[in-house]
Amino acid sequence: MTSSPTTFYSASAGSGKTYTLARDYLTLLFKSQFNNHYRKILAVTFTNKAVAEMKERVLEHLYNFGKQSVPDSSLGIFDI
């Protein structure tokens, strides 16, 4: 088993944890040299609402990255 870095986010409601999780998930995904790296990333949150929000954000950004002209809202998650 390979050891990987673990990151914990602890903050109050409305502080941007879900946004940060989605951003970091996508960053790990795009930096990976492996096609199936998404299968090795675990993102955990405590509510179904946050899970749905994170999933929606990840899918929205992936959809946007597939467009010919990527919206600033998606490019901005990487501070390019």
CA neighbor of 74 nearest in space, from 33, 27, 34: 27
Tokens linked to 50 = 């946050």
Tens digit of pLDDT for each residue in 33-75?
Answer: 878 877 888 888 788 988 899 899 889 888 888 877 877 777 7
Model pTM score: 0.70
**Residues whose CB falls within 8 Å of the CB of residue 41, separated by 6 or more in sequence, listed in order:** 25, 28, 29
